[in-house]
A and B are shown apart, each in its own frame.
Chain A
Amino acid sequence: DAGVIQSPRHEVTEMGQEVTLRCKPISGHNSLFWYRQTMMRGLELLIYFNNNVPIDDSGMPEDRFSAKMPNASFSTLKIQPSEPRDSAVYFCASSPSYFGKSETQYFGPGTRLLVL
């Protein structure tokens, strides 16, 4: 299996621009997670989906962030408008079943975002 695929791997944009990050989970996995990693705050869970339905978006920082999962093989995380403080590495992860306490998550390689 190809693993979790994220695109782009690197993104440089200017403040105020819209940014769209993409994720393809492992085929057959039913849960999908978006994380943000920064030096200051570490790894933060932004949102997760079960069977394409958003379950918990309490980690989404503000209304500028939105996430969708139109089907089982694709998800997007959008930031509009972007700000310099959004600069971070964004990870997508998937797990085989409905999110449970013991589930292993499989992470993508991440998208490194720099907002100037």
Chain B
Amino acid sequence: AQSVTQLGSHVSVSEGALVLLRCNYSSSVPPYLFWYVQYPNQGLQLLLKYTSAATLVKGINGFEAEFKKSETSFHLTKPSAHMSDAAEYFCAVSGDDKIIFGKGTRLHILP
């Protein structure tokens, strides 16, 4: 069985500041981990995924995430926030036959 927890349902950062969205997971088997982004009135789209290769995963739009097994974490970061990053972000874990999504974190960008 697996589960995923996203810390903070809302995160606000200033434009140009570091973005950090937190995700912790649990899985009884080696997990595969994903970050998806959802813009208003749209479906989810993949930002990046970890599939047991490099622990630092680079995605689209300047985002990256680091898999830390010891901390069971897969936090999403971006060095400098842009207004266009305002969206909802979902962390997901796939271990057994299911994929489980977190509740999401809405990212607000302050001008």
Interface residues of A (CB under 8 A from B): 4, 42-43, 45, 55-56, 91, 93, 99, 101-102, 104-110
Contact = CB atoms under 8 A, between A and B. Distances in A.
A38 to B, nearest CB: 11
A42 B102 contact: yes
A55 B98 CA distance: 11
Interface stretch (B18-26, B36-44, B63-71, B73-81): B36-44
B101 A102 contact: no
Contacts, number: 46
A106 B46 CA distance: 8
Nearest to B48: A104
Given A42-B101, A43-B90, A56-B97, A104 B32 contact: no
B101 A99 contact: no
A102 B49 CA distance: 8
